[in-house]
Chains A and B, each alone.
Chain A
Amino acid sequence: MAADDYAVIVGITSYPGLKPLQGPENDARVFSEWVEDPAGGQVPGTNIFTIYSSMYAQTTMAPDAHPWKGDVYAAFDKLLDLGNKNGGRTGRRLYMFFAGHGITPENEVDEAALLMANAARGKLSHIPGRAVATYLRAAAYFDQVVLFMDCCRDAWGTTRLQDPDWDIVNRSGAVEYFFGFGSQWNQKAREAQFELTRGKPEVHGVFTSHLITMLRGGKMTAATLRRLMLNSAKRFAVPSTEYVPVLEPELQDSIVLSEGAPPVEFPVTIRFNGLQPGEELEVRNGKFAQVYRDRPQGNEVTIRLAPTNYEARVRPTAREIAFDVPGQDTVSL
């Protein structure tokens, strides 16, 4: 159990002043489940702060809609207070997960700002995720800061970045970090129906769906997560749209995710048109090590494979197909 890890998780679906969304609260919920899961983030439930639209009274008036910035910052304030009472250290790792509408404020090409429920044209109240994470890194309340944001990053030239109003605290000490954004600068993040829970399709952000699928794969470093996500992004993109997540830094091996899980593997279903007498199905990894050899019944078999490139083939005939994991969850011979 990561007893001194914490999480602040925000999912905003209801925006009276903007177009409503369907997925962010689902996103926040699945991330919250992962973060508490013994095979996931292992964060104690009492250390998880969740802020969802549905926790507040619904209204059609934008100015009255919650959560506001203060609702979210209240969670951070508690963590800062805890740290201040504890010699400046709150815990080992902080997860921040934000899903909802988002923008890039004026001249802040690296920023992703989550719009609050009371945002409306001309007054885009927001929480700048990177700025908050950067502040927390500088203040060193945690040894590690992990930020994920599933929101658009439309360049919004008329909105200035709204910094948190915390006092500047600069402590020495290298705080490790890993940031993931569901869209590039001036690009859209999208939501669609995904089946993250078997038999229960629901709307999720593309990035969250991708992230959770990868995180459920098993124990991995942040650097591995980055590699896996960049190599499998195409599989999650909504057709005819672009999806290129931003994950940084490139080499972050100090942050280990899903620490309680076994080494990372993904299920892959291999379909074949029945095996003839004497035929076998063989799967070799990218370095030609045999990882599966059998004579399965029926027309398909599902096996768990570690991330790499593979070739499945029916021996001794020449039916074969190369594929990558994660990338394709179903291949047909």
Chain B
Amino acid sequence: MSPAKTPSASSGSEAIRLIADAGDPMVEIFVIDPDLRRIARAAGRLTVDLPPGIYKVKFKAGTLGGTVEDEKMVVLEPGRIPPVVQPSESISIASPVPIRKTRTSHEYHRIPARAISKLTHARLGSGSRLLIFVRDLDKGRTDNPLHGLTLHTLESDAPIVELEKTGEIIRDFSSGYREGEDEISAACSLELAPGCYRLRVSESPWGSFESAVVTSPGWQTQVFLPRRSFESDPGKQGAFPDLQQASILMARPEDGFDFENPILKLIEKARYALAERRAALGKSAVDVMLGEKFRNPMLGLYAAHILLLAPDPDEGLLNVVITNLRPLLGEHPDLRALELWQAQRAGEDLKPFSFEAIPMLKRSWHIVRSAAAVSEDMVPESSFLSRIPGWEMCDTMWLTWDADAVARLSAEKSLGFPTTALGISGVHTLAADESMRDVLEEANLDPVEREIMAFVQRELHLASGTGDRTVSREERDVISPRNIAVDYVRHGWWQMGSQGSAFSGVRDGIASILSRDDLLRKMGLPKSSVRIGVQRLLQILPRQQVGLVLEDNLPMLGANKPLER
């Protein structure tokens, strides 16, 4: 237990001790004072000395899709012995995992999940196992929850398994399941070679999305997905497996999914804590997690990232976690990302780090992504991983990306990076009736390309003496070749070069980014991804014939008049 920080107001002799005990290290506790200000915070158990007064104690725990809370009032008054404040009942969480004593768990999910985890629906290789379990949280649907789920290798877009065809719908009538009335579930259990796979969800209202699933030698990776409802047509409900809310566990294949294992609730609460970026979990919670990681290495990965949330992470403890996880997991991109963090802190050579496999946790990816900004070999340009930046779903715990967009990028042939003669091509073919706006707005830039353009714009501001002007998030969203061109004219950047190569300033700016480590670090994207973006931009710009448009306007601009439309 870690005592909460004692508020300064309590330093007088009258201070009375308040103890709040959630009975669970993963529950956060807050104390609200009579001025309605939050004055103390701890995880699991809180002890704080306070001036006499009436206080509110809030208990809060993460759960599926949000949080659960409970509140208690407590009077601290001389002569009255305050009780140990506890939540009304154990704060009950909901989880995609059918764990006993959670709000959404049913026997007709739990028992079949355990049985299926030990079956094999398909043998695609050997050495590791994968269980995918999907269930509705809403009652009454009868369609297969595995619909639209496919498993892919990193190399091929063709699925290695269509889970709907391979897995099974669970109908455990002996456990009381009522078809068409209760929450339907389905599962697929596979044996396959250890490695990194892509789990794809198609037919969501937003298109197709993917997350990485890593299987390790001698372990079963268990992916539990809730289904999320949406209105497919007015008045008609659809549903799709929600990768954002996935819970991923690991177990020895001989154990399979053991819904009675008390460690499961701990893992779920740790996952929620990480998803909500709660570094407040006390040392006791982290100690429990680290002690249990041998039975489920996901706890070790969560604990490591929770430790990293602290402003000054406990490097000694992290080293222990990483060292212990290595023999358990072998080669695993999330573990490798933690080792990369370790090597960076120690100032070690980062050359041995190369990521072809995709980390499951977004936090792992962030470590890799920023380190790869100036180390092109870390995320090779040929890798699937280099296509993901810009297409990650935001604010999710798992690295999830827009599969359609990444597939489009991957399908494009390598454009070849021109190293010389960055002049404008095709400038004389612009149709007379095409307006500048129409032509330039055709460019539909990818997020990485927009980011590159934002940096080019800033650099051009600097070069033209218009100052170090940081491009805001809002501005970045409207960056386009057209806007750059407008700025180009407004600020007289064209005067920096000859009129014949009017737009070479922007083109040169784009090309030079790859040799500017300072900019690459600021962008925080893998250099290989930036290279792909640069190549695409250099192709787009001549196609948009910006140069000609500007050339046409140059006589008018000679008087430094802003471009009028």
Which A residues lie at the B interface, using CB under 8 A? 17-19, 107, 109, 121, 131, 134, 155-158, 161, 163, 185-187, 227-228, 231, 234, 242, 244, 284-288, 307-311, 320, 322-324, 327
| B231, CB-defined interface residue at 8 Å | yes
Q: For B53, give its contact among A158, A187, A286, A320 (CB under 8 Å).
A: A286
User: Could you tell me if B65 and A158 are in contact, using CB atoms closer than 8 angstroms?
Assistant: no
The interface stretch among B17-25, B71-79, B308-316, B453-461 is B71-79
Contact A287-B73, Cβ < 8 Å, known A308-B35, A308-B36: no
A–B pairs, 10, beta carbons within 8 Å: A19-B231, A131-B474, A155-B395, A163-B478, A234-B71, A242-B67, A286-B34, A287-B53, A309-B56, A324-B56
Other A-B pairs, 9, CB within 8 Å; known A286-B33, A308-B54, A324-B36: A228-B36, A286-B34, A286-B35, A288-B52, A309-B32, A309-B33, A309-B36, A309-B54, A324-B73
B334 at the interface (CB under 8 A from A): no
- Please tell me if the beta carbons of A185 and B395 are within 8 angstroms of each other in the complex: yes
Instruction: Determine the chain A residues whose CB is within 8 A of the CB of B395 once the complex forms.
Output: 109, 155, 185-186
Are B54 and A310 touching (Cβ within 8 A)? yes
Instruction: Report the bound CA distance from A91 to B56 in whole Å.
Output: 41
Closest 10 CB pairs of A and B: A286-B34, A322-B73, A309-B54, A157-B206, A242-B66, A286-B54, A308-B34, A227-B36, A158-B206, A109-B395
Complex Cα spacing A155 to B206, Å: 10
The contact of B73 among A107, A109, A228, A309, by CB within 8 Å, is A309
CB distance from B246 to the nearest CB of A (A): 15
Please tell me if the beta carbons of B54 and A234 are within 8 angstroms of each other in the complex: no
Which B384-411 residues sit within 8 Å CB-CB of chain A?
A: 393-395, 402
* Whole-angstrom distance between the Cβ of B280 and the nearest chain A Cβ: 17
* Interfacial chain B residues near A163, Cβ < 8 Å: 474, 477-478
A282 to chain B, nearest CB (A): 13
Asked if B143 lies at the interface with its beta carbon under 8 angstroms from chain A, I say no
Tell me if B37 is interfacial: C-beta within 8 Å of chain A.
yes
CB <8 Å contact, A323 and B53: no
Residues of A within 8 A of B75 (CB): 311, 320, 322
Whether A242 pairs with B65 at a CB distance below 8 angstroms is: yes
Beta-carbon contact of A322 and B54 below 8 Å:
yes
The count of residues in chain B whose C-beta lies closer than 8 Å to any C-beta of chain A is 34
Q: Which residues of B contact A (CB under 8 A)?
A: 32-37, 52-56, 65-67, 69, 71, 73-75, 77, 205-207, 231, 233-234, 393-395, 402, 447, 474, 477-478
- Please determine whether A244 and B67 come into contact, CB atoms closer than 8 angstroms: yes
A residues in contact with B478, CB < 8 Å = 163
| Distance in angstroms between the alpha carbons of A228 and B35 in the assembled complex | 10
Nearest Cβ on chain A to B224's Cβ, whole angstroms: 19
CB distance from A169 to the nearest CB of B (A): 13
Interface contact B73-A323, CB-CB below 8 Å: yes
Given contacts A286-B55, A311-B54, contact A158 B477 (CB under 8 A): no
Q: For the complex formed, measure the closest distance between the CB of B116 and the CB atoms of chain A, giving whole angstroms.
A: 30
**Inside 8 A of A155's CB, which chain B residues have their CB?**
393-395
* A157 in contact with B36 given A107-B394, A242-B66, A324-B73 (CB within 8 Å): no
Shortest CB-to-CB span from B93 to chain A, Å, is 13
A161 touches B234 (CB 8 A): no
Task: Select from chain B the residue with minimum beta-carbon distance to A185.
Answer: B395
Contact residues in B for A161 (Cβ distance below 8 Å): 477
Report the Cα distance A185→B396, complex, angstroms. Answer: 11
Contacts of B231 in A (CB 8 A): 18-19
| A13, B50: Cα distance in complex, Å | 49
Closest approach, in angstroms, between the C-beta of B1 and any C-beta of chain A? 25
CA distance A163 to B479 in the complex (A): 12
Q: Which one of B67, B74, B394 has the highest number of Cβ atoms from chain A below 10 Å of its Cβ?
A: B394
In the complex, A193→B371 CA distance in Å?
53
Q: For the complex, what is the distance from the CA of A286 to the CA of B206, rounded to whole Å?
A: 50
Closest Cβ neighbor of B475 among chain A residues? A168
**Shortest CB–CB separation between residue B122 and chain A, in angstroms?**
31
Question: B207's contact among A109, A158, A324, by CB below 8 Å, is which?
Answer: A158
| Min distance, Cβ B427 to any Cβ of chain A, angstroms | 29
> Do A157 and B32 have beta carbons less than 8 Å apart?
no
Interface centre among A19, A157, A227, A311 (most CB of B within 10 A): A157
Chain B minimum-CB-distance residue to A233: B69
Residue of chain B at shortest CB distance from A158: B206
Instruction: Output the residue of A131, A134, A185, A288 with the most chain B CB within 10 A.
Output: A288
Q: Determine whether the beta carbon of A18 is less than 8 Å from that of B234.
A: yes
Residues of chain A with a CB closer than 8 A to B77's CB: 288
CA distance A77 to B131 in the complex (A): 57
B32 touches A231 (CB 8 A): yes
A residues less than 8 Å from B66 (CB atoms): 187, 242, 244
Closest CB of chain A to B173's CB: distance in Å? 28
- Contact yes or no, B56 A134, CB < 8 A: no
Q: Min CB distance, A36 to chain B, in Å? A: 29
Check B206–A322 contact: CB distance below 8 A: no
Least distance between A119 CB and chain B CB atoms (Å) = 12
Beta-carbon nearest neighbor of B65 in chain A: A242
When chains A and B are docked, how far (Å) is the Cα of A320 from the Cα of B54?
13
| Most-contacted residue by chain A among B32, B37, B74 (CB, 10 A) | B32
> Residue among B67, B231, B234 with the most chain A CB within 10 A?
B234
Alpha-carbon gap, A17 to B233, bound state (A): 9
Cα separation A54 to B325 with both chains bound (whole Å): 62
Q: Which residues of A contact B69 (CB under 8 A)?
A: 234
Closest CB-CB distance, A217 to chain B, in whole Å?
Answer: 13
A-chain residues with CB within 8 Å of residue B52 when the two chains form the complex: 288
User: Taking A187-B66, A286-B54 as contacts, is the C-beta distance between A309 and B474 under 8 angstroms?
Assistant: no
What are the residues of chain A within 8 A of B56 when measuring CB–CB?
231, 309, 324, 327
**What residue in chain B is nearest A135 (Cβ atoms)?**
B474
**What is the chain B residue whose CB lies nearest that of A62?**
B234
Contacts of B205 in A (CB 8 A): 121, 158
CB–CB B207/A157 < 8 A: yes
* Highest count of chain A CB atoms <10 Å: which of B36, B56, B73: B36
Contacts of B402 in A (CB 8 A): 157
Name the distance in Å between B298's Cβ and chain A's nearest Cβ: 23
Chain B residue with Cβ nearest A120 = B234
The residue that A307 contacts in the complex, of B36, B71, B74, B234, with Cβ under 8 A, is B36
> In whole angstroms, what is the CA distance A287 to B52 when docked?
7
| A311 to B54 Cα, complex, angstroms | 7
CB-based contact B393/A157 at 8 Å: yes
A-side contacts of B233, CB under 8 Å: 121
With a CB–CB cut-off of 8 A, which chain A residues contact B33? Answer: 286, 309
Task: Write out the residue numbers on chain B whose beta carbons fall within 8 Å of the beta carbon of A244.
Answer: 66-67
For the complex, what is the distance from the CA of A286 to the CA of B66, rounded to whole Å? 31
Shortest CB-to-CB span from B36 to chain A, Å, is: 5
A18 to B205, CA, bound (A): 14
Chain B residue, CB-CB nearest to A243: B66
Once bound together, how far apart are the Cα atoms of A134 and B67, in whole Å? Answer: 30
Kindly report which residue of chain A lies nearest to residue B66, judged by CB atoms.
A242
CA distance A307 to B56 in the complex (A): 13
A307, B32: Cα distance in complex, Å: 12
A270 to chain B, nearest CB (A): 14
